[in-house]
Chains A and B, each alone.
Chain A
Amino acid sequence: MKSVTLDVNGKVFCLDVPDGELLIETLRDRLGLLGTKYSCLEGDCGVCTVLADGKNVLSCLMLTVEAEGRKITTIEGLAQESLHPIQQAFIDEGAVQCGFCTPGMILAAKSLLDSCPLPTKEEIAHALDGNLCRCTGYVRIIDAVLSAAQKMKKTP
């Protein structure tokens, strides 16, 4: 067991966790943040994507002890008073079907837009390549990220 101090969605948690506990387990089982989804546990699908210091990481491949000292953002931490423009764009563009990939996809998109505010379609596709979706064919997901980028540029 190890004592860790985690910063998740701007809140600080002091936890005792086994050395080998995965970040996804801590987020879901200890903190009740169920928006981080669980699918392959092998780092292949991207549904467990969260942000660590603003960069998208797979919470099934990260140990909780490794997350100490980094700012972790899950899908629950994205909306402030209103939805984040990427979340709103996913709704408006019809980019949500089963929704299982959606939280990870939105966080991967946020990581992209924070470093590259006006990406091309190709850049978006490249940035989301590790996040699988079986429902949409990605068409509307990429459109949503594009539209969010434009809206975020107008209202910084």
Chain B
Amino acid sequence: MKTTSPVGKSVPRIDARQKVTGEAVYVFDLKFPGMLAGKMLRSPHAHARIVKIDTSKAEKLPGVRAVVTAEDTPKIKFGSNEYFFPYTVDQYPLEFEKVRYIGDEIAAVAAVDEATAERALSLIEVEYEVLPAVFDPVEAMKPGAPQIHTARNNIGVMLPVCFGDPDRALRESDYVHEDLFVLPSAAHAALEPHVSIGQYEVSANRITLWSSTQAPFKIREAMAKTLKMQEADIRVIKLNVGGGFGGKLEMFPMDFCACLLSKKCGGAPVKMMCTRQEVFSCTRRKHPMIYKLKSGVKKDGTLMAITGEVIADGGAYCSYGPTVIAAGIMRFMMVYQLKNIRLFGSRVYTNNPISGAIRGFGGVQSGFAIESHMDMLARGIGMDPAEFRLKNATDPNTMTINKMILSSNGLKDCIRKAVEISGWKEKYGVKKEEAPGVFRGIGLGIAADVMGSKMYKSHESAGSIIKVEEDGSVYLFTGAADTGQGSDTAMAQIAAHELGVAYERIRIKAADTEITPFDTGSFASRVTFISGNATKNAATDAKRQILDVAAQELKLDAQDLDIKDEQVVNKKSGKALFSFDQAVVLCYSFNYGRLIIGRGNYNPKTTPIDFRTGEGNISGSYGFEAQIAEVEVDTKTGRVKVLKMYDVHDIGYPINPASVHGQIEGSIVMGLGYTLHEDLKFKEGRVVNPSFSKYRIPRSTEMIPIESVFIETNDPQGPFGAKGMGEASLLPTAAAIANAIYDAVGVQIKDLPITPQKVLAALKDIKNRKQE
């Protein structure tokens, strides 16, 4: 066995072998005896009152085992930000009064096969009274607009933020700039569709749900509430998950119905799987947003004030609305030192599909708006955008105006390094015509990210258990949900290092709400930081137990011993005293009989954001990054080609460098898609491009060279100095590209995606203006 520490090394992923051989099991691969196929009945109307639902014909169809409607449920609403925002709890697992979007769930069927289930859906008779619908958030806020829930002016979530004296700061500014940015919706487009299998145990009145999820414990909580059961009677099991990106972070009515149908069928397991069209149309999507910004700077580059309004199209239900609007408004406060801020955020209900969490929450939208806007401010005073950012970027060991505590902070180093590796100084502002009508440009964007967000529960704890068996095998139980990002591997590396054993010893079990400790789930780039600390603590505890026995046996002080490279060593002399295996056998032996079970948990020191003021230290630490794009713009066709992306990221310390680079590369390419062509489109509330052929995600031929560099700030709270980093690289991508386009051809595109048509129109517009 290799015995050096795996932390900081690109060890192979713990699950890679199963994944390359096809052995890795995902929920859809499960098959149980007597398993039934489930299907959801969804509303064809964007807004309608449900007058009557008649399921009798469907129930009589041969092969149909059960049909459920709201009448079979306790009619209890659920929401995703329930603890701090009870007013956002607005969705029934099955609706019975109204439907609010095309796709809203009203009934479900279980049958012997999918075809029969689908046939049964068509036999359910629903009488609707169609209501006027509203699809534009600005229209929805106007008096007299159709009322979707009970929220005044359909504003489901409001976040007014005001610090300092922004009006005065704008008056005292040398240059004030106003902008309007428009951000479209987008899809997560994880390759594995949403799938769940519910099984009811009649004698015990218990439920087991296998779900493709990022947050098993979150589903358990919502399921218990809406089924009026005890959490202890609901077991949620996560297997391999084929990508999440925020789209699998909640309980869905299909999870609920798989279990309810199983109960009605006397315990037969029921499998529900979304079609690709359902994934695109009826799960979650990115919030379309509008940013109206007005900000001011001094001639010397001092950022004086940022003011404005943010309007988000929330769709039919609230989902993670508060988290998204908070991220959409407050992320730049981690990035820029600023005393005067006034922003008013509104998340507005419409009859569009439900907007929710998606990698970066609202940070991708705000990243584009704020970072494009900052370039325009710098331009207004004739300052280099990199210099401008260096002047205003936040520093380590500071508190932001809204009371976020930035301990380690490598933002300025990220900017400097990005400038250096990209050759920024030689390239920026230099007109470069590569071929007739084809111009090169370079652009910058910067960002910050949280690692955890106190938005879901009163605490944000994660726990880990490590048991060391008599044969020396080490089992790690964690509630952290690996959805492909590699958290199982990172947890195993952390456990191996801390316990002083080889990485190959660790077997990981995650996540099963009945077996593994609580964990809020994979979101907000929190797992390495929070679950990683919990795992480290569990390993420390297991090690202490082993060393206590070793010390007793050797009549030494346990404080003087450690486990390194699979050996119990004397810290002072460095002498190896036992092998790890011998020490474990000793623990279990006649005289001691000690079973080694280490436990650890971690709860970051955070405070929730006060939505009346915008204050709160939402994360235990913060990550930072700078990104530079080099592009080529063809002025004849309007086509933008991204030549290279440079990414410099303060990740604290990389537990697994290859995995960290992999997250960064994946984020950038996802960002590239959102910048240049991804656009989930709607017509009267209906998704018009719900397939991979119509909603294009980046393909291998669009792969671009990426140079990714780490800034290691060794975070004082992070496990081995590591910080979370799964989302930040997506945040500045669109602005970096848009700013590079400006550098190339002098047009600033303010609405995504940046299509050739928009570039051509903008070029024509400046040409016309020059002629006037």
A103 and B70 alpha carbons, distance in the complex (Å): 41
Which residues in B have their C-beta under 8 angstroms from that of A139?
662, 665, 669, 703, 706
Bound complex: CA of A96 vs CA of B666, how far in Å?
A: 11
A106 CB to nearest B CB, Å: 6
- List the A side residues contacting B189 at CB < 8 Å: 134
Residues of B in contact, count (CB < 8 Å): 54
**Please, which residues of chain B bring their CB within 8 A of the CB of A36?**
22
Given A37-B242, A125-B701, A134 and B29 touching (CB < 8 A)?
no
The A interface is mostly helix, strand or loop, or mixed, namely: loop
Does the CB pair A33–B22 fall under 8 Å? yes
Q: A100 to B642: give the CA distance in the assembly, Å.
A: 27
Contact B192 A137 (CB under 8 A): no
Give the Cβ gap from B42 to chain A, nearest Cβ, in Å: 19
A126 in contact (CB, < 8 A):
yes
User: Which among A41-49, A51-59, A64-72 touches the partner chain?
Assistant: A41-49
Residue A113 CB within 8 A of the other chain: no
Contact with B along A16-38 (1 / 0, CB 8 A): 00000000000000000111111
User: Do B20 and A125 have beta carbons less than 8 Å apart?
Assistant: no
Counting residue pairs across A and B whose Cβ atoms lie within 8 Å, the total is 168
B276 touches A137 (CB 8 A): no
Residues of A within 8 A of B485 (CB): 97, 135
In the complex, residue of chain A having the shortest beta-carbon distance to the beta carbon of B26: A100
- Min Cβ gap A155→B in Å is 18
Q: Are B12 and A91 in contact (CB under 8 A)?
A: yes
Report if A134-B693 is in contact (Cβ < 8 Å); known contacts: A79-B21, A140-B665.
no
**Chain B residue nearest in CB terms to A100:** B242
Interface centre among A91, A100, A141 (most CB of B within 10 A): A100
Quick check: is A74 within 8 A (CB to CB) of the other chain? yes
Which residue of B24, B188, B669 is within 8 Å of A137 (Cβ)? B669
Q: Which residues of B262-285 are within 8 A (CB) of A?
A: 275-276
Q: Give the residues from 450 to 508 in chain B that come closer than 8 angstroms, CB to CB, to chain A.
A: 483-486
Whether A102 and B665, one on each chain, are in contact in the complex, defined by CB atoms closer than 8 angstroms, is: no
Assembled-state Cα–Cα distance A114/B101 (Å): 49
- Is B13 in contact with chain A by the CB < 8 A criterion? yes
Q: A39-B191, A41-B276 are in contact. Are A96 and B697 (CB under 8 A)?
A: no
Cβ contacts under 8 Å, B667 to chain A: 137
Kindly state whether residue A8 has any CB partner on chain B within 8 Å. no
Complex Cα–Cα for A93 and B136 (A): 46
The answer to whether A96 touches B19 (Cβ under 8 A) is yes
Q: Which residues of B contact A93 (CB under 8 A)?
A: 658
Any chain A CB within 8 A of the CB of B692?
yes
Q: In the bound complex, do residue A133 and residue B191 qualify as a contact, i.e. CB atoms below 8 Å apart?
A: yes
The answer to whether B22 touches A35, judged by C-beta atoms less than 8 angstroms apart, is yes
Known: A45-B692, A99-B484, A103-B22. A138 touches B669 (CB 8 A): yes
> What residues on A are CB-neighbors of B484 within 8 Å?
97-100, 135
Is the C-beta of B103 less than 8 angstroms from some C-beta in chain A? no
User: What CA separation (Å) do A3 and B276 show in the bound complex?
Assistant: 31
Partner of B23, one of A35, A88, A141: A35
Cα distance A126–B193 when bound, in Å?
A: 26
Contact A42 B692 (CB under 8 A): yes
Instruction: Give the distance in Å from the alpha carbon of A101 to the alpha carbon of B484 in the complex.
Output: 11
- Which residue of B is nearest A126, CB measured? B701
CA distance A41 to B279 in the complex (A): 13
A131 to B193, CA, bound (A): 16
A141 to B662, CA, bound (A): 10
CA distance A79 to B25 in the complex (A): 18
A133 to B700, CA, bound (A): 8
Partner of B16, one of A79, A96, A126, A134: A96
A76 and B666 CA atoms in complex are apart in Å by 27
A36 to B693, CA, bound (A): 21
With a CB–CB cut-off of 8 A, which chain A residues contact B243? Answer: 97-98, 100, 134-135
The reply to whether B703 and A134 form a contact with Cβ atoms under 8 Å apart is no
Does A147 interact with chain B (Cβ within 8 Å)? no
**Is the pair B701, A98 in contact by a Cβ cutoff of 8 Å?**
no
Which residues of A sit under 8 angstroms from B190, Cβ to Cβ?
Answer: 98, 100, 134
Q: How far is the CA of A83 from the CA of B20 in the complex (A)?
A: 9
The minimal Cβ–Cβ distance linking A84 to chain B, given in whole angstroms, is 8
What are 18 of the A-B contact pairs (CB < 8 Å)? Answer: A44-B691, A44-B693, A75-B20, A88-B20, A91-B12, A97-B484, A97-B486, A97-B662, A99-B24, A100-B191, A100-B484, A129-B701, A132-B692, A133-B191, A134-B697, A137-B667, A137-B703, A139-B665
Residues on A lying within 8 angstroms of B by beta carbon are 33-42, 44-45, 47, 74-76, 78-79, 83, 87-88, 90-94, 96-103, 106, 124-126, 128-142
